[in-house]
């Protein structure tokens, strides 16, 4: 199997810095914004975006996690798991929730994340930030903030490695 690095540590960091600037520009600041990172790696990317925004603007955007396991369209799960999918210590009603994930592919994960959010609360808006958009959507979903668009073949695989989870900072494509 052939492997190729698409983003190294510095490139990941630069992409996240640019995305932070875009988030601040398009929203005219941080008012009402909340980051929800899709577990597992979206959680760490949301934390990194939170930190970058703090460095740029001096404001800490409330940040939590979302575990979509119970909301996958190929699974039937109990009510408790559905209730516990979101972990954040502020109410999300009337907030602008920015979902954060590492890879956007078919869009099914994000569909599940939106289900999980809307099952609980009524945000004023939901946006999506992803480090990698590799195409091949199976649902009408698009990202608002993208680190890098990578055209891929279906049989290829993108792996995102993050220090907090994988002891490395790298995005790799396997052909």
Ligand X SMILES: O=P(O)(O)OC[C@H]1O[C@H](OP(=O)(O)OP(=O)(O)O)[C@H](O)[C@@H]1O
Ligand Y SMILES: O=c1cc[nH]c(=O)[nH]1
Most distant CA atoms of the chain, gap in Å = 47
Residues 18-47 that bind ligand Y (CB under 6 A): none
Q: Are 172 and 3 in contact (CB under 8 A)?
A: yes
> What number of helices (H) and strands (E) belong to the chain?
5, 9
Question: Of these, 44, 71, 105, 145, which contacts ligand Y (CB under 6 A)?
Answer: 105
99 binds ligand Y (CB under 6 A): no
Least CB distance from residue 151 to ligand Y, whole Å?
12
158 binds ligand Y (CB under 6 A): yes
Match 């009603």 to its residue by tokens. 93
Q: Both tokens of residue 89?
A: 């210590």
Q: Are 162 and 169 in contact (CB under 8 A)?
A: yes
Site of interaction with ligand X (CB under 6 A): 38, 40-41, 101-109
Nearer to ligand X, 30 or 109 (CB): 109
Task: Summarize as ranges the residues that interact with ligand Y (CB under 6 A).
Answer: 103, 105, 134, 157-158
């Amino acid at each position: 199997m052939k492997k190729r690095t698409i983003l190294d540590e510095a490139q990941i960091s630069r992409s996240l810095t640019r995305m932070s600037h875009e988030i601040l520009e398009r929203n005219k600041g941080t008012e009402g914004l909340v980051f929800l990172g899709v577990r597992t790696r979206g959680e760490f990317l949301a934390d990194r975006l939170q930190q970058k925004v703090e460095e740029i603007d001096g404001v800490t955007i409330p940040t939590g996690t979302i575990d979509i396991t119970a909301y996958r369209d190929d699974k039937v799960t109990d009510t408790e798991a559905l209730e516990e999918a979101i972990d954040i210590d502020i109410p999300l009603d009337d907030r602008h929730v920015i979902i954060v994930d590492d890879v956007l592919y078919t869009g099914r994960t994000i569909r599940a994340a939106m289900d999980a959010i809307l099952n609980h609360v009524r945000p004023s808006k939901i946006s999506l930030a992803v480090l990698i958009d590799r195409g091949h959507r199976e649902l009408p979903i698009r990202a608002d903030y993208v680190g890098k668009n990578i055209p891929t073949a279906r049989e290829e695989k993108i792996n995102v490695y993050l220090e907090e989870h994988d002891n490395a900072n790298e995005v790799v494509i396997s052909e």
